[in-house]
Amino acid sequence: MNKNTVFKGIATALITPLDETGINYEQFGKLIDWQIAEGIDALVICGTTGEASTLTDEEHRTAITFAVQHAGGRVPIIAGTGSNDTEYAHDLTRCACEAGADAMLVVTPYYNKATQKGLIKMFAQIADKSTKPIILYNVPSRTGINIEPATYEVLAEHENIVGIKEANGNISKIVETMARVRGKLDLYSGNDDQILPLMALGGIGGISVLSNIMPAQTREICTRFFNGDIAGSAEQQFKFSTLLDALFCEVNPIPVKAAMAAMGFCKDYLRLPLTTMEDTNREKLVCLMRAQGLNV
């Protein structure tokens, strides 16, 4: 860990409970309370799983403010403030800082993409204007661009850039990255099936979709690892393999929204272009959730 570590363990990339009228804040508050009661280490608000891409600007800002106020300092709140428009990312970051968020999660620019030089300049400018730590989010399967190890090495010198949510899936690249930035940037797995492998490379946890439905059990992967029980951590990672296949058989957050609705936390409501889960996939997911002991 570095001196500006935001959290160690598991942060839930939290869904946003939506219905036809907008965000259901009663459900949102209950969900935050349940996650904290289950022992989660941090919460990410308005990330990919939170459907940030289809929230209005007002909803995005209000959701972050609500989460900060409702959590009341019980766990760190990490606000998704990335954009492919650098000025808009500046503005969202400023708003989240003023609202009291503990850190920002800033994704690489999507669609317009960038060169590595452009990534360095964009992230540095956002970090310059933030009063809170920045965690970089690398998810090339969604954005079409990858943060290269040499780029991480440059960005690691910025005092406000403290961590990486790495979802590129390329273990060899992650090894090279950690060889360059270890001790300067905290590494978090952005893929639920790679929490343990990335901790073996020096990571300190993950930002998880699975922990929406199983926060304590997902956190156990980290707890066992940190306690030196590597075999036990591996067993916990293996335990969720089939469930994870079902949880990502359609684009995230379609399946996890269906799962959370089945558990009674929200309506199974998404905004286009996302649609509700196919019935055959839903049946398989619910069956696997029951096999894990969930009440659905």
Q: What are phi and psi of 134, to 5 degrees?
A: -115, 130
Query: Whole-angstrom Cα distance, residue 237 to residue 239?
Result: 5
Active site residues per annotation = 137, 165
CA gap 109, 119 in Å, rounded: 8
Residue type, 189: S
- Interior/surface letters 149-172, b for 16+ CB within 10 angstroms, e for the rest: bebbbbbbebebbbbbbbbbeeee
Residue entry with tokens 């001790």: 183
The rounded distance, in Å, linking the Cα atoms of 84 and 2 is: 28
Provide DSSP, 26-88: HHHHHHHHHHHHTT-SEEEESSTTTTGGGS-HHHHHHHHHHHHHHHTTSS-EEEE---SSHHH
For residue 223, the tally of other CB atoms under 10 A from its CB is 16
Residue with tokens 């894990």: 292
Residue 54 CB partners (closer than 8 Å, separation 6+): 271, 272, 274
